A = this chain, B = another copy of it.
């Protein structure tokens, strides 16, 4: 949406509607579960501060983390068009959320065609991120999977100004990283060791640093298209 704004595609009414979305806000604690899989779809959220993730429990008791949300992301759009949640959502650390109702979102789509197109674009973009994960989980080694995930987070954080001197905070435990990447926590640890020995990723506590971001991007063959691309002109013209 900030992309749309930058392109001057938003009317004043549009902006007012967006600001209204953030009218309410609520503090949430680390580890707090916002909702569980299967519950009714009652609200969506703008994540103002903190990290969150959506997840599914598996038969064997472990979980698969589907998506990691960073500040500025919208949580719950995944469930738009469904009556029950397809996945649970929990906070990784403490933060602030701005809940809004599905009715509110529907009204917004009805009122502003531009925002409607924007919502489609957001949904498609999230699909693009999922697609990248699918490609990387399907046929790549643990090093590439972890490296790719870290690099994606790095780019997303940089876009919101959360990378300082090439360093950023990663509040996820290795267990949680394993749940993201489909790896055991044990192997995540070994993989970090390998990436360190190769001089690609240094991690101390929750702080991550890439000595050579370019080399890492090359190793994981990162395709920036799916994250960086601007909205096409078709959005902005009315014909």
Q: Which residues of A contact B (CB under 8 A)?
A: 41, 56, 58-60, 62, 64, 66, 77-84, 86-87, 102-103, 106, 109-110, 113, 116-117, 119-121, 123-128, 130-131, 133-135, 137-139, 181-182, 221, 225-226, 229-232, 234-235, 238-239
A144 to chain B, nearest CB (A): 9
Q: How many copies does the complex hold?
A: 2
Q: How far is the CB of A142 from chain B (nearest CB, A)?
A: 12
Of all chain B residues, the one with the shortest Cβ separation from A77 is: B124
- Give 19 A-B contacts (CB < 8 Å), ordered by A residue: A56-B131, A64-B135, A64-B139, A78-B127, A80-B124, A86-B131, A86-B226, A102-B232, A106-B117, A106-B235, A109-B113, A109-B120, A110-B117, A116-B116, A116-B117, A116-B120, A127-B127, A137-B137, A138-B182
Cβ–Cβ < 8 Å partners of A59 in chain B: 221
Tell me, in angstroms, the Cα distance from A89 to B180 when the chains sit together: 28
Q: Give the distance in Å from the alpha carbon of A123 to the alpha carbon of B77 in the complex.
A: 11
